[in-house]
Amino acid sequence: MAQVEWFDDLTIGMRFRSPEVEITEADIKRFAAEFDPQPMHLDHEAAKETLFKGLAASGWHTAAIAMNLAIQARPFGPHPLIGAGVDGLRWTIPVRPNDRLHLVGEVMSLTPSKSKPQGIALVKWTMFNQNDEEVYTFTPIAIIPRRV
Amino acid sequence: MAQVEWFDDLTIGMRFRSPEVEITEADIKRFAAEFDPQPMHLDHEAAKETLFKGLAASGWHTAAIAMNLAIQARPFGPHPLIGAGVDGLRWTIPVRPNDRLHLVGEVMSLTPSKSKPQGIALVKWTMFNQNDEEVYTFTPIAIIPRRV
């Protein structure tokens, strides 16, 4: 993994990789009950009748797990992951109970601020499951301090 | 609120409004501990030293709450909220403990599928706090069945 501390240490094309995490059926149902209580995320039988053809994680659950994995990948070293927003958020295939998920990130663009000692980095993150299928991708608009 | 059942019932400019929900400090810390364990979301004192100048909800927590509010607004009547992705996701100001949040949605575009009995609706959702400040906005790419 690249050794990065400041915005200035990042280069286009630099890549990061997170550890792997497993998502359980209990996790899926608990998150859904609180934030996305729809049949495809709550109940096996009801989920079969939906577009998902079986129980699948809420996309927002996938997004929250991805945030945790991105933190663990430490793309900006000791600096926090702070975003003004996200571009290109896409859910490509359903995340299922017992999927093992990891993230790969790649630096797509770097824009130093003209007025502040910081810069905007766009890192495109892609989440893969245990079969190396792409399940989710997102590109946060991250703010990172410059070395001063 | 508009009475909508199918894609065909939606019109550009149609608006929706969710109920209001309060976010607690305990909610903020619990979500952060699981998904976004960074100082600005976990601890009052540590948060003061960050860009947030005090405890603030994870942006992904805000996004998950917004999903729940969008479901409650029932923009597509009995049909589920299913999205291929999200455009224009932006966090504009921090969400704080005890903020009371609601969503307003507006139909921005409607594109019927050429091959399937469904359509894509873009609804721009904006979340406001109790001071009517815009805290978050997102535009899901929603798939809704057509009346056949």
Which of B68, B136, B141 to probe the A interface (max A CBs under 10 A)? B68
Please report, in tens digits, the pLDDT of each residue of chain A (148 residues total).
Answer: 557 999 999 999 999 999 999 999 999 999 999 999 999 999 999 999 888 999 999 999 999 999 999 999 999 999 999 999 999 999 999 999 999 999 999 999 999 999 999 999 999 999 999 999 999 999 999 999 999 8
Task: Report yes or no on A1 lying in a domain.
Answer: no
Partner-chain contact B38 A81, CB within 8 Å: yes
Task: Give me the mean pLDDT over the B38-63 stretch.
Answer: 94
Structure-block tokens of residue B88 = 């224009």
ipTM confidence? 0.96
Q: Is residue B1 a part of any domain in this protein?
A: no
User: Which residues span the domain enclosing B78?
Assistant: 7-145
In tens, the pLDDT along B111-130 reads: 999 999 999 999 999 999 99
Identify the residue among B24, B86, B127 best suited for mutation to test binding to A, counting A beta carbons within 10 A and taking the highest. B86
Report the number of distinct structural domains present in chain B: 1
Distances (CA, A) of A114 to A65, A84, A99, A117: 33, 17, 43, 8
Q: Give the model's pLDDT for residue A2.
A: 54
Mutate to test the interface with B, among A49, A55, A86 (most CBs of B within 10 A): A86
A72 vs chain B: nearest CA distance in angstroms?
A: 10
% residues pLDDT > 70 (chain B):
99
The pLDDT value recorded for residue A3 is 76
Residue A2 included in any domain? no
Q: Which residue of A has its CA nearest to B90?
A: A85
Task: Please check whether residue A52 lies inside any domain of the structure.
Answer: yes
Residue B2 lies in a domain: no
Are A35 and B84 in contact (CB < 8 Å)?
no
Does B53 fall in a domain? yes
Can you give the pLDDT at residue B112?
A: 97
Alpha helices in A14-89 (DSSP H): 25-35, 39-42, 44-48, 59-73
The predicted pLDDT at position A33 comes to: 98
The pLDDT assigned to B2 comes to: 54
In a domain, A75, yes or no: yes
Does some domain include residue A25? yes
Cβ <8 Å between A68 and B38: no
Looking up residue A51, the CATH number of its domain turns out to be 3.10.129.10
DSSP string, B22-64: E--HHHHHHHHHHH---HHHH-HHHHHTSTTSS----HHHHHH
The per-residue pLDDT for B63 is 98
Residue ranges of chain A whose CB lies within 8 Å of a chain B CB = 31, 34-40, 50-51, 58-61, 63-65, 67-68, 71, 80-91, 143
A33 to chain B, closest Cα gap in Å:
10
